[in-house]
Amino acid sequence: MESIQDHLKALMNRGEITNQYHTILKEKVFADPDVKAFFANHQDSLDKDAIMKSASNLYEFVRQKEKRKANQPSLIYGHDPRLVLFNNRIHVEYVPSREEIDRRKSLEAKNRIKTMYISKDVVEANFDDLKTTSGKMEAINATLDFIEDYSTSPSDFHQGLYLYGSFGVGKTYLMGAMAKHMSEQGFQVTLVHFPTLCVEIKAGIKDNTVGERVQPYKDAEILILDDIGAETLTAWLRDEVLGIILQHRMQQNLSTFFTSNFSFKQLEDEHLRKASGDEPVKAARLMERIKYLAKDIQLVGKNQRQS
Ligand code: ADP
Ligand code: MG
């Protein structure tokens, strides 16, 4: 059987292609290794007619490849040309390049993690840079266990953590690293500074948007309420906002984390009870929800804040 290459030679020798075109096709297009490989792979289904009618597409393919190589703007941003055969013609299609796929992946991961009112170094925290000290090992190990358990069976309920300890010990940082990791695994994580969220939600009273401001935190796949106990608490925030969010998350079995300067007992006695007067029953009801959702672990260590 006559090979495609022989076919082309014969074609060109017969002068069926004009000189200039001939040169371009011969030296650029038919000499291109990808084009050659394509011809070789499609020996049986390509004929002379198909190749000649596809010549301009083949030329486009080679030109676009050159542009990509020279880092010039390509026809479709971030896409590489590829040859395909259908209907007895060779066409060029554009597929996302390796770099484009990586870029999209990291963008998607960023979209899966919602960090609200959280400092930049925490947003960028990751396990590779995470310093481990003995006073934090229990919290770090529990976080890693959660990651493993959740990743293995995301539809089951996995209890979160209530990380407490003094200012600057690294509670939020550890949660930032977890949030980043989980979002890269494809899970949706919301890490929110709870005191700021309270201010935002209160602002919704004026324009009647409390419900819609609260909703994303009820529904977040994995929620981290950062710095609970540092907000200016009112009975309304405790019962109608925090209580409602946690009640919903319990019913839906959604994983929920907290960080706080307070232990469970301090949070209950010094904070939740005291929102308005002294309401031990209401505080206890809220504590039940927190304890169902999260296990408390203390972090011990130095203040690692620079400023
Ligand atoms: P907390 O939330 O306990 O008050 P942060 O998590 O905000 O404290 O930590 C304070 C700062 O210390 C962080 O912004 C970060 O720069 C640094 N830091 C905390 N923990 C670690 C850690 N495990 N590894 C590296 N840096 C840390
Ligand atoms: Mg913090």
* Rounded distance between C-alpha atoms, residue 81 and residue 67, angstroms: 10
Answer for the pair 295, 158: CB distance below 8 angstroms, yes or no: no
Distance 103 CA to ligand 2 centre (A): 30
Which residues line ligand 1 at a C-beta cut-off of 6 Å? 121-122, 129-131, 167-173, 259, 304-305
Reading the block at residue 42, the tokens are 């499609």
- Amino acid occupying residue 179: A
Say if residue 1's pLDDT is above 50. no
Q: What is the 3-state secondary structure (H, E, C) of 119-142?
A: CHHHHCCCCCCCCCCHHHHHHHHH
* Rounded distance between C-alpha atoms, residue 89 and residue 56, angstroms: 11
Reading the block at residue 292, the tokens are 């169902």
pLDDT band at residue 100 under the 50/70/90 scheme: confident
Distance 165 CA to ligand 1 centre (A): 12
Average pLDDT over residues 217-226: 96
> Tell me, what DSSP letter sits at residue 164?
E
Helices 171-184, 98-112: inter-axial angle, 10-degree rounding = 130
Note the pLDDT tens digit of each residue in 121-170: 888 888 999 999 999 999 999 999 999 999 999 989 999 999 999 999 99
Q: Identify which of 264, 262, 266, 261 has the alpha carbon closest to the alpha carbon of residue 293.
A: 264
Residue 119: nearest ligand to its CA?
1
For residue 7, the model assigns a pLDDT of 58
Q: What is the percent of the chain where pLDDT is above 90?
A: 66
* Rounded distance between C-alpha atoms, residue 153 and residue 151, angstroms: 6
Answer for the pair 122, 176: CB distance below 8 angstroms, yes or no: yes
Q: Pairing mode, if any, of strands 222-226 and 189-193?
A: parallel
pLDDT band at residue 10 under the 50/70/90 scheme: low
pLDDT band at residue 88 under the 50/70/90 scheme: confident
| Atom 21 of ligand 1, nearest CA residue | 170
The neighbour count for residue 144, using CB atoms within 10 Å, is 14
Average pLDDT over residues 185-199: 93
Most ligand 1 atoms within 8 A of CB, residue of 115, 173, 260 to mutate: 173
Answer for the pair 190, 223: CB distance below 8 angstroms, yes or no: yes
